[in-house]
């Protein structure tokens, strides 16, 4: 046997190498785990530094040099972090002045925009306290039914709840009449509204016309002396004196996160019902997929873990959710490009974001950073999306979605039965 018979030819798989270089390829995970020696053109053994470690939830690569021995330490740290932090209580017994905030309260809860405005109100209060003997209070005026239970952590010192039947639906005339009553009784130093499509701009403009004030719109930098507003579609800044009535842009200030507040309920004699000239005929039913992702409040997003796409589309229709997708699902051709969620797609601000089969790449996690509640269905209990989610279900996506649809159908049938029983009872009583 000659020496040439002992020689082994090193054969390369160009396709496997291309897949290994593309982390978004569907087969990347199967190729990356293969411990194949990689040699350079000179025959030297090459090491891949990118294969060492893992990407954490914040996008930073982590290397476990303790070889798994840090599990006990991490468990103790997690147990400590789960303990609720008691924030100091901020109390204003006799306010020297009052700043009134009228939040949007979309869905009966404070939005991120509302919390930014409450933070701005406290900044104004602190700047005014330097020249006034005493502290100022921030009062929130809330119309309609409220589901919010964290007014104290959002920075509300006084809370005025106007939840009568006359404040249900779209009733700007009734709301303005109530705000005029607040103006007459409390005489607030400032009025703050969110400059948004959810009603803040409309209500603030109506009140400004009634009070004869020249409001500041799209205000994003406010002090007691000057206000900077965005103009010309956000391309220029306009500086002016700070008026009494401000309609503030998103992220105008940081929300309150270091103190708790009293959120004392204000006793109030409601104003008499106003004869409206506008009549609310209810909400108009729209196709959820006709809503752009950036404005959708409920998103059902699919990732690489979805195999039954017909079931996914049917589930979105039953839930009334807008469809979204990860980049992998889009690159594979399962969803159109405009449905992509993430830093390289659309940044979303949904009230509820339901992620199915999405592991949680850093670009995707950035795109859902402003979502209020994140729910995930995944088979991997250790993925980044599960760590980010407020509620996680570990299991097969197809099985969980089928059970979810059956529960929704049962709930709707029960609700329909209850409505029929109530109508029959009303007829019998009549």
Rounded Cα distance between 256 and 238, Å, is 27
Query: What digits encode the pLDDT tens for the residues 239-258?
Result: 999 999 999 999 999 999 88
The DSSP H or E segment spanning 173 is: helix 172-186
Strand partners, 245: 191
Rounded Cα distance between 298 and 29, Å, is 31
Average pLDDT over residues 304-329: 94
Q: What is the pLDDT of residue 60?
A: 66
Q: What is the pLDDT of residue 5?
A: 54
> Which of 10-24, 182-196, 221-235, 371-385 is least confident?
10-24
pLDDT confidence band for 194 (50 / 70 / 90) = very high
Percentage above 70 pLDDT, the chain:
85
Residue 36 pLDDT exceeds 60: no
The three-state secondary structure class of 53 is: coil
Q: What is the pLDDT of residue 314?
A: 95
Residue showing tokens 């009228």: 102
CA neighbor of 353 nearest in space, from 314, 330, 313, 326: 326
Average pLDDT over residues 111-140: 91
Q: What is the pLDDT of residue 272?
A: 77
Query: What digits encode the pLDDT tens for the residues 169-187?
Result: 899 999 999 999 999 999 9
Higher pLDDT, 28 or 220: 220
Domains of the chain: 16-52 (no CATH), 91-265 (3.40.50.620), 288-409 (3.40.50.1220)
Query: What digits encode the pLDDT tens for the residues 62-101?
Result: 666 555 444 444 444 554 545 567 889 999 989 999 999 9
Q: What is the pLDDT of residue 270?
A: 78
Residue 422 pLDDT exceeds 70: yes
Residue 317 pLDDT exceeds 80: yes
Residue 387 pLDDT exceeds 80: yes
The angle subtended at Cα 141 by Cα 139 and Cα 144, nearest 5°, is 155
Average pLDDT over residues 197-223: 95
CA neighbor of 139 nearest in space, from 159, 119, 154: 159
pLDDT confidence band for 404 (50 / 70 / 90) = very high
- Considering all CA atoms of the chain, what is the largest pairwise distance in Å, rounded to the nearest integer? 108
Residue 376 sits at φ, ψ, to 5 deg, of -135, 150
Higher pLDDT, 387 or 14: 387
Burial of 353 (0-12, 13-18, 19+ CB in 10 A): buried
Q: What is the pLDDT of residue 16?
A: 82
Average pLDDT over residues 157-177: 92
Rounded Cα distance between 373 and 39, Å, is 47
- How crowded is residue 131: how many other Cβ atoms within 10 Å of its Cβ? 7
Residue 337 sits at φ, ψ, to 5 deg, of -65, -35
pLDDT confidence band for 188 (50 / 70 / 90) = very high
Query: What digits encode the pLDDT tens for the residues 336-377?
Result: 999 999 998 999 989 899 999 999 999 999 999 888 899 999
Residue 419 pLDDT exceeds 90: no
Rounded Cα distance between 330 and 339, Å, is 8
pTM, entire model: 0.68
pLDDT confidence band for 130 (50 / 70 / 90) = confident
**DSSP output for 261-312:** E--EEPP--PPPPP--SS----PPP--GGGS-GGG-SEEEEE-TT---HHHH
């Amino acid at each position: 046997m000659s020496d040439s018979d002992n020689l082994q030819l090193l054969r390369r798989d160009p396709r496997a190498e291309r897949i290994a270089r593309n982390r978004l390829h569907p087969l990347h995970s199967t190729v990356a785990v293969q411990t194949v020696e990689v040699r350079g053109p000179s025959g030297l053994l090459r090491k891949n530094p990118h294969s060492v470690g893992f990407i954490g939830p914040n996008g930073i690569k982590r290397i476990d040099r303790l070889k798994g021995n840090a599990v006990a330490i991490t468990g103790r740290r997690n147990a400590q972090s789960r303990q609720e932090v008691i924030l100091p209580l901020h109390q204003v017994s006799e306010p020297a002045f009052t700043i009134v905030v009228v939040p949007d309260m979309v869905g009966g809860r404070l939005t991120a925009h509302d919390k930014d405005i409450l933070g701005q109100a406290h900044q104004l209060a602190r700047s005014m306290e330097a020249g006034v003997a005493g502290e100022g209070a921030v009062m929130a005026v809330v119309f309609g039914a409220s589901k919010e239970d964290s007014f104290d952590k959002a920075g509300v010192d006084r809370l005025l709840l106007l939840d009568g039947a006359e404040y249900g639906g779209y009733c700007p005339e009734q709301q303005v009449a109530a705000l005029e009553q607040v103006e007459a009784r409390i005489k607030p130093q400032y009025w703050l509204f969110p400059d948004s499509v959810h009603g803040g701009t409309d209500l603030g403009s109506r009140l400004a016309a009634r009070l004869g004030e020249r409001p500041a719109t799209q205000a994003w930098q406010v002090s007691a002396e000057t206000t900077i507003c965005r103009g010309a579609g956000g391309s220029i800044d306009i500086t002016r004196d700070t008026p009494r009535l401000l309609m503030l842009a998103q992220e105008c200030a940081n929300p309150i996160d270091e103190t708790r507040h009293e959120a004392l309920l204000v006793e109030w004699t409601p104003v008499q019902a106003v004869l409206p000239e506008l009549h609310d005929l209810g909400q108009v039913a729209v196709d959820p997929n006709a809503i752009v992702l950036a404005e959708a409040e409920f998103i059902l997003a699919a990732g690489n873990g979805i195999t039954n796409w017909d079931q996914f589309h049917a589930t979105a229709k039953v839930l009334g959710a807008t469809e979204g997708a990860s980049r992998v699902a889009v690159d594979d051709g399962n969803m159109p490009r405009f449905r992509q969620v993430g830093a390289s797609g659309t940044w979303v601000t949904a009230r509820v974001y339901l992620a199915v089969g999405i592991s949680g790449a850093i670009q995707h996690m950035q795109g859902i950073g402003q979502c209020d509640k994140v729910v995930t269905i995944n088979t991997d209990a250790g993925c980044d999306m599960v760590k980010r989610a407020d509620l996680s279900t570990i299991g097969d996506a197809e099985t969980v979605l089928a059970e979810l649809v059956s529960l929704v159908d049962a709930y709707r049938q029960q609700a329909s039965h209850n409505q029929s029983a109530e109508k029959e009872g009303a007829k019998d009583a009549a």
